[in-house]
Structure 1
């Protein structure tokens, strides 16, 4: 069963090369993770689930694209999953942009090495699909990585202009008083105030350096507990399956992890509501799978796809796109879903095309305790 971002759950219709790619998946990721930890010092302190983040789904997307008849030109086609990868690198690690490029190069090398070991020979056009997939993924990941750091710089500029105004005013006023006062004791008192203001600025600068070193964006207050994600999916589906209408289907094995039940439930509600609102009235599928310590939670609907130029923007607060049906707006629902995913140490992505429908994917660690703060319940 694949983890591709279009929620395909079997290998039916895939070519022999695609199936061979999926069969060697575990070997590829073992090679890739070893290579990343060997070549990127910053990866040493990163746990496995955070290191791998959205890459398993990307790998399965590449495998799908190797089937000529499959409606996916390359592994990053129709999906924002690789932008999510770059966003997680900015928020969850101290990786630099050049190191993100290197990890994709190592990913390509791992595919080539595993293929050689398994006797898989790519045709020239098939290997071209692999290379194009990685090239586009690098572009998407670096763009999101840069955007997040740009927003961080904007926040830093606002912080500097606002928070440092008071201690600077205090220092300026104290120096002016010292210059005018013939009283030594008064001058000493003013010098003490200058020292207080300078220490405040020193602390602020230290905090700003911390923020520059590692992104600490504001997160939702999460209360973590241990529960089975399948139970949560069934409960969410029942809320929409009223009066014998089995419109929402659940596909998930029993899977226990550490998450915030209430926020994940609300995120699911938002995603199902959007699927009802923008779908074509067909079945809505809720699915949960896991791989390498990550939970991949998805909501799929058929119907009108999200335009390519809107896929990234719909996660912005109060963004409303287009005219007619779309103009009713995504409101704060999808930005809330993104906040939930990021608060759990993960990300959210969308895969949307006319052929495959629309799938929203919440991709988070199975154990979110190291990434979601210390609150538990």
Structure 2
């Protein structure tokens, strides 16, 4: 599997230990999944695409960080994969921060167990890089995890202070008017208005309680259908072919799955549009890979990289980068984030001067188990796709 965290064709060759670790990647991830399911409360019920999440990207970054001279100090350098992992754990699981931390500790344990069993010798200096990468990933993942819950509290507070104020005002005013009502008919009309707004307020309380108790964030309404993702990518490529004079390259095998075609089409269009706006005019590359029941859809461009502060805020709603002339970053990328999360996945960005900028959408091949049945429309009698975790790994 060629992960899109490294789209730089001129990248340095991997070191010997990095090549050896790349060779045992699937063994490490499988062992990690077993340890997580065995030791972390709530993990056993998670389907494989949700469990694995962005760990393959983290692993690929770690392999690069272990190569001397490679432009990664650790596995989190230039990447928001750990941030995406923490955010998805907040939305898609009933984890606490303790379980999230334990996952990364078990990753280090799995790497140690499998490398020893397979005869891969890792030096003390290399273990320092691994430990530094795990600690950094924990910090970034927990920060994102807690931010999701803090955002939910802010939304609940806003609903209480703003949305509920209107029916409360109607109820209070109605009660005052009843006291001075001139006849029974007027009092009844005011009573009906008070009753209607009390019901509305009751409904709002239910929504607030749902928001407080549900692990998921806001989701887009999706219409799921079964289609070939490569055909969608080719459709987007043709849309931009006439408007973009430079090459728009595609590397995508056929992967058939269950997604919302329109939502992912809009998300991919947003990423390609941003690559055109903020790239240096060089080739833009769209790649599709599949492993562990997930697909990773990436858009890569060359040009000025995003700094650490930009990577942390680029998916914020109505956020625009002031130092660039092209309009954007305001709504398109937040939509991409919401589109990925609504499919049960996540989005991340990897950007540096050496490797360019890559946006990664990571979603399950079959999104039906992760999408609320009330927000989707798809045939229910179509046979399911093969079980997650049993897909061949592309080379």
In structure 2, the gaps of 5 or more residues are 177-192, 380-395
Aligned to 2:224: 224
Q: Secondary structure at the match of 2:112?
A: helix
**Mean Cα deviation higher: 19-28 or 201-210:** 201-210
- Between the aligned partners of 2:141 and 2:56, the Cα distance in structure 1 is 15
Aligned to 2:92: 92
Alpha-carbon displacement from aligned partner over 1:302-355 (angstroms, at most 9, x marks no partner)? 111112111121111221123243x63323111111111111111111000000
CA contact (8 A) 2:221 2:376 kept: no
- Between the aligned partners of 1:239 and 1:165, the Cα distance in structure 2 is 47
User: Taking structure 1 as reference, are residues 200 and 35 closer, same or farther at Cα in structure 2, changes over 3 Å only?
Assistant: farther
- Structure 1 stretches of 4+ moved >6 Å: 9-12, 166-176, 193-203
* Cα shift at 1:6: 2.8
Q: Secondary structure at the match of 1:303?
A: coil
Residues 1:352 and 2:351 aligned together: yes
CA contact (8 A) 1:49 1:294 kept: yes
* Cα shift at 1:9: 8.0
1:158-173 counterparts in 2 under 5 A? 158-162=158-162
- Between the aligned partners of 1:244 and 1:203, the Cα distance in structure 2 is 49
Q: Secondary structure at the match of 1:6?
A: coil
Aligned to 1:49: 49
1:82-161 counterparts in 2 under 5 A? 82-161=82-161
- Between the aligned partners of 2:295 and 2:200, the Cα distance in structure 1 is 43
User: Taking structure 1 as reference, are residues 243 and 363 closer, same or farther at Cα in structure 2, changes over 3 Å only?
Assistant: closer
Q: Secondary structure at the match of 2:227?
A: strand
User: Taking structure 1 as reference, are residues 13 and 203 closer, same or farther at Cα in structure 2, changes over 3 Å only?
Assistant: same
**Mean Cα deviation higher: 45-54 or 217-226:** 217-226
User: Taking structure 1 as reference, are residues 346 and 9 closer, same or farther at Cα in structure 2, changes over 3 Å only?
Assistant: farther
* Cα shift at 1:216: 3.6
Residues 1:369 and 2:368 aligned together: yes
Alpha-carbon displacement from aligned partner over 1:90-119 (angstroms, at most 9, x marks no partner)? 111111011100111001100100110111
* Cα shift at 1:264: 1.1
CA contact (8 A) 2:298 2:361 kept: yes
CA contact (8 A) 2:62 2:130 kept: yes
CA contact (8 A) 2:4 2:360 kept: no
CA contact (8 A) 1:76 1:137 kept: yes
Alpha-carbon displacement from aligned partner over 1:171-210 (angstroms, at most 9, x marks no partner)? 989999xxxxxxxxxxxxxxxx999999987876565444
User: Taking structure 1 as reference, are residues 280 and 194 closer, same or farther at Cα in structure 2, changes over 3 Å only?
Assistant: closer
1:1-377 counterparts in 2 under 5 A? 1-7=1-7, 13-162=13-162, 207-242=207-242, 245=245, 247-325=247-325, 328-372=327-371, 373-376=375-378
User: Taking structure 1 as reference, are residues 37 and 335 closer, same or farther at Cα in structure 2, changes over 3 Å only?
Assistant: same
User: Taking structure 1 as reference, are residues 328 and 199 closer, same or farther at Cα in structure 2, changes over 3 Å only?
Assistant: closer
- Between the aligned partners of 2:26 and 2:2, the Cα distance in structure 1 is 12
Q: Secondary structure at the match of 1:217?
A: coil
Report the RMSD for the aligned CA atoms in angstroms: 3.1
In structure 1, the gaps of 5 or more residues are 177-192
State TM-score, norm by structure 1: 0.87
- Between the aligned partners of 2:55 and 2:10, the Cα distance in structure 1 is 19
User: Taking structure 1 as reference, are residues 8 and 259 closer, same or farther at Cα in structure 2, changes over 3 Å only?
Assistant: farther
CA contact (8 A) 1:226 1:259 kept: yes
**Mean Cα deviation higher: 204-213 or 105-114:** 204-213
